[in-house]
């Protein structure tokens, strides 16, 4: 994750595309029970075929449907036990967590992350 973050930071200076586009595909593979590298090959092939032959059809799919697919896939990547661990060990760390979460939902992801960083700096 650190390397991925550094790649995105370095790439932002040369107008590159962010390098985290496959998290949802990986989550779908994991939720489907894929265990081998062939699953990645198969998924990549399906994506290429879909882009080649179904691009015009994607226009008619409602955005809410696509959002539901992404949210359903990402639910498996959430670490709920981290909140329980913070509750048991250091309750003060829950304040930045929930502050970031609430501000991200209410005011947007960018503002929520900025508020979370500021709250974390205050706690240091």
**What pLDDT does 19 receive?**
72
Cα–Cα distance measured from residue 1 to residue 9, given in angstroms and rounded to the nearest whole number: 12
Each residue of 58-84: pLDDT tens digit? 889 899 998 898 788 777 777 888 889
Residue ranges per structural domain of the chain: 79-123
| Secondary structure (DSSP) of 26-47 | HHHHHHHT--SHHHHHHHHHHH
Cβ contacts of 104 within 8 Å, gap of 6 or more: 111, 112, 113, 116
Each residue of 15-39: pLDDT tens digit? 887 776 666 677 777 777 888 888 8
């Amino acid at each position: 994750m650190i390397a991925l973050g550094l790649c995105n930071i370095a790439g932002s200076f040369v107008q590159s595309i962010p390098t985290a586009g496959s998290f949802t595909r990986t989550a779908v593979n994991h939720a489907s029970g894929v265990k081998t590298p062939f699953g990645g090959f198969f998924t990549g092939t399906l994506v290429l075929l879909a882009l080649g032959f179904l691009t015009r059809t994607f226009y008619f799919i409602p955005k809410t449907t696509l959002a539901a697919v992404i949210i359903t896939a990402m639910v498996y990547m959430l670490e709920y036990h981290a909140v329980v661990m913070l509750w048991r060990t250091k309750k003060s760390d829950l304040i930045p967590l929930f502050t970031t979460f609430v501000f991200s939902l209410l005011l947007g992801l960018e503002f929520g992350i900025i508020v979370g960083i500021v709250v974390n700096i205050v706690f240091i």
